[in-house]
Amino acid sequence: MSEVTISPKNTRRPWLAILLSLIIPGLGHLYCGRIVRGLLMAFLFGLLGNMIWASVVFLSPLRAVFFCMFLLTYFALWLVPAVDSYNIARHTKSDYELKDYNRLIVYFLWAVMSSGSSVIGALHFREKFLEAFRVPAASCYPAIVPGDRFLANKLAYKKSDPRRGDLIVFINPEDRRVKYVKRVVAVAGDTVEIKDGELYINDQKLERQKLPDSELDKIRIEIRGALLKGDLYEELNGQVKYNIFMAHPPHLSIPDFSKIAIPEHHCFVLGDNRNNSYDSRNFGPVPLATVIGRVDFLYWPVKDISRFGSLSSE
């Protein structure tokens, strides 16, 4: 009597386990009947993904180091479930007893839920913690070069107000669709005045020290087809130092700005490219309610890769 095999073979295929794990970490384990291990892998993968971004928000001043470290670990951890599920599949007996969850629909649902939660998590993170921006203008040159991309930390001002020297992103008071990035030079209660090209905060002239032109060599930019020429200075504002740029042509000299007091819940912002910036001299002090976050992390520097990382002033 010829034999009819009705029950299907349930061998776990190692290549399929790898394939599933590479697409969604943990899915290969589910296929091999190791649901708990799969869930653990998926959880660790998600956790590390969050740690990459958390390092940018919380781990100042070594955020660049931690960012790179977590990023590398993240990609390594992406491979671990694949290798692990491959080994499990290889050592699974050919008469593997199918579990209730060994169904195509369950794999599909796992993939959809895992991807969906990742997208929702990423959108939430972007909404509440970090937001990326690309700068098209040179108003904050040399700290930010046109084309630079950075992450703004939205948690930075939850418990405190912007401080002098902070680079902030805020909503343009004259057009809410546009966001600006400028440097805070004075905060509520301070007075600001510009006289003969010099900046006075609380009637104290801010000290400037000229820096060698060579510091700009790697980040020279062109404005309307012509190389932007000027001098680089280090400005000392209270305890904070940052670099500013003064373009050369005399017609771009900084106009005087009469003394004003910064009202409560406002700050006064200027572009680092002092005579090429549209800032508080034009639209007045910025309400803190319109501040989106602090510019913390330059993740895509143009021209000079060594600028990658932290953007906080000294």
Partner 1 sequence: MRRQEVYDIWNKAREQIDVKEDFTDKVMNQIFLYEQKKSKTFFDYRRFVDLISANLTAQAAFVVVGAVVGLTRVVFMFAVILGY
Residues that bind partner 1 (CB under 8 A): 1-2, 4, 6, 8, 13, 15-16, 18-20, 22-24, 49, 53, 74-75, 78, 104, 115, 118-119, 122-123, 125-126, 130-134, 149, 151, 299
Closest separation in Å from C-beta 180 to partner 1: 14
115 vs 253 by CB, closer to partner 1: 115
Dist. CA 157–CA 294, nearest whole Å: 8
> Which residues are 199's β-sheet partners?
194
Closest separation in Å from C-beta 302 to partner 1: 14
Residues contacting 165, CB < 8 A, separation 6+: 183, 184, 185, 237, 238, 240, 241, 242, 313
Residue type, 135: V
104 vs 227 by CB, closer to partner 1: 104
Structure tokens given for 102: 């060994």
Reference 186, options 168, 171, 210; nearest CA is: 168
* Cα–Cα distance list, 181 to 7, 177, 196, 249, 301 (Å): 66, 14, 25, 24, 16
Closest separation in Å from C-beta 280 to partner 1: 24
Closest separation in Å from C-beta 49 to partner 1: 7
Residue type, 299: Y
Give yes or no for a contact between 295 and 152, defined as CB atoms under 8 angstroms apart. yes
Closest separation in Å from C-beta 22 to partner 1: 4
27 vs 186 by CB, closer to partner 1: 27
Sign of CA dihedral 262, 170, 164, 159: positive
Give yes or no for a contact between 20 and 12, defined as CB atoms under 8 angstroms apart. no
Closest separation in Å from C-beta 151 to partner 1: 8
Give yes or no for a contact between 169 and 180, defined as CB atoms under 8 angstroms apart. yes
113 vs 119 by CB, closer to partner 1: 119
Containing H/E element for 122? Answer: helix 104-128
Question: DSSP class of residue 161?
Answer: -
Reference 277, options 301, 311, 245; nearest CA is: 245
150 vs 233 by CB, closer to partner 1: 150
Closest separation in Å from C-beta 1 to partner 1: 5
56 vs 138 by CB, closer to partner 1: 56
Closest separation in Å from C-beta 253 to partner 1: 34
Structure tokens given for 175: 């057009």
Q: How many CB atoms lie within 10 A of CB 229?
A: 12
Question: DSSP class of residue 265?
Answer: T
65 vs 98 by CB, closer to partner 1: 98
100 vs 217 by CB, closer to partner 1: 100
